[in-house]
Structure 1
Amino acid sequence: MNQRLRILFVDDEPMVLDGLRRALRGFRSEWDMAFAPNGPAALTLMEQQPFDVLVTDMRMPGMTGVELLREVQRRYPETVRLVLSGQADEQAVFECIGLAHQYLAKPCDPESLRSAVRRATLAGSCLNNPGLRELLGRMDRLPSLPRIYHELNRKLEDPEANLEDIAALVAKDPAMTAKILKLVNSAFFGLPHTVSDIFDAVQYLGMATLKTLVLAVHAFEQYPAEAIPWFPWEPIWQHSLDVGARARALARFEEAPESVQEQAAVGGLLHDLGQLILAVNLKDEYQGIWHEAASQQRPLTECEQARLGTTHAEVAGYLLGLWGLPDPVVEAITFHHAPDASGSASFGALTAVHIAETLRPCEAELPPGTCSGPDAGYLQKLGLAGRVELWQQQLATITSS
């Protein structure tokens, strides 16, 4: 029998807490809920019993939402931390970068809240891995969702918003606009013509892909490269673009639905984000793991598992699951080195990313372990072992810009 989730809601407005109690009454069979009027009261409750999820307001007298999140992160790192914020609190939300796993805008209907909690706790199921749980507890620089990502979501919820509004929003960030246009015109998409206008780019990409590209660009660029000079930022970014383009091409070659092709491209683009997260947070320790993998010619994931009790793939899958990326994308990222562990029974985004990653030459700048060939047992289980040679021929035609 599944254990019910324990969820703690914190808000200084009694009417808000009463409204949550009424609105969420139908979830009592799934959740054990507690309600606190302020940060200190919340911490007292957490001292008495563990909670799986904390959902807090930001602007509260005395202990603010930021201060509460920081304290919960320090004391109870395994608790998933969500922010339920009014639009007027936008600036306060961005003060808690790295402290909250996900942001929800008030007013938030019960089903949206339920969906967010479900995504967070599905990702949180990874915390059954003691190594991952301990490692995440040590991290204080998890990448955050960019401001423009939240603004795009708000536009999507506006029934009067159109493509011109979306393009104008992206255009407000010249650096992001330039990066999006560069990506649209790269081999990642393989367009036969040049796109020079952000409106045309938005029209071509669609909102789901645009949001993901915004996410990827921000995730790779929010940390200064000089903070970890040993880490090969540019080769990792180029490798990610290459795997994304190859994964998309493979899914297209297999005549997968367009949605699977997009999921494969996104999974490939973000599949090594966990390496960046570990490098930024663990610094010299992670550099030592890289050096060990390179000097002993061992797979990086094997060295990570031995030293950390988890891998970069699991770290990225956990975080992106919290951010609400589609389950097939999270699966492709989490299991791209160990697809047989996923339980997947058919060709999908995971298959495409795994093949795109493993059927490629080794790169001198990257640690070993990704060029040892695909998982034969996994392909045998899917009935696809006989397609490896065809895939190799197909991938040989793809070049990365």
Structure 2
Amino acid sequence: MRILLVGDQASLPAELGEFIADLGEDWQTLLSPDGHGAMSIVAGSPIDAVIVSPHLPDLDATTLLGQVRTLRPETIRIALIQAQQGTRPPPARLIGVAHRFLPLPLAPEVLLEALTSLEELRELLDSPVLRDAIGRIEKLPSPPHLYLSLTQALEDDDDTDSADVERLVAADPAIAAKVLQLSNSAFYSSGRIIADLRTAVTRLGLATLRDLVLASEVFSAPTLPASERNALQARALLASRLAARLLPASSAELGATAALLADIGLLLPGVRNERNAAADADDARPGHAAAGAWLLGLWGLPMPIIEAVGFHLQPQRSATRSFWVTGAVHVALALVNGDPIDEAYLQRAGVLSKLPQWRDYANELMGVTQAEA
């Protein structure tokens, strides 16, 4: 594994390179003190992972990681952040281009954990089974009534704003995913990744949005009975609202979007519902969490959303030590679906004491009284 460290010795001490070298001959460390030198290295040959300190003499970390993503999209991109930033999430622009965020000063064991976890995620998103299963699907199914509901809302009220449209779109996870896909396409994105529906709706414009919804509905091929689809839609919306409440305001939209799309793999043909039964050795179908993550990865959605979708059933597979998007999605989906919660994971993340309060939030959203709970 070839790892490029970008920054000065104050943020990337020499012992980090020595630690990586001690992992064995299959691990190689390259160094660059600035962004332009790093891009020369990346352009010269493939790099498995790039680790960038927050302050460079020529480029900011967001710009450098964005250039790496364009030139070598397969490269793992890690951004370092100052420890005094505390529990505040990274800037939105940095979230869009980095796969992982690690604190400074950087401990070697934390770096190793992040690299192995991201390698696992990359392997998840590079599965031949998933490529074959998802590659044959052109359209995601979605309920036929959404276009009419959206059109009626826009025609009945001239003051309908993007927040009203967002609420309608958010009620259908398949359409929400398509809206995010299109808003992040080269034609609309202008290089800036969009992870929340309200911004996506504003970027697309209402006319384009309605056309997108109509096309998605007309050409969709439902793979689930109507009752199951409606139930899935209702649970996704509840989980989305709940996940937003479990995170600080600055991360609420990211968590809401990830929870809304967490079970989108269930809308795809040829996948296995991982909540119904354990994996069977004779069942070659991909699990729905991995299938959903693969699909969103193809669409170029932000990695925090992709990771949350792929790992929300097994949050311990995430190397993120703090409770963030993956954890919020795990808790929200488990509470809404009545599934077991990984309390060992919550204990490790230091938030297990909040679980009773989160159960109250879920019961409130689902209309369950204290006595019924």
Please report the TM-score for the alignment, with normalisation by the length of structure 2. Answer: 0.50
Please report the TM-score for the alignment, with normalisation by the length of structure 1. Answer: 0.47
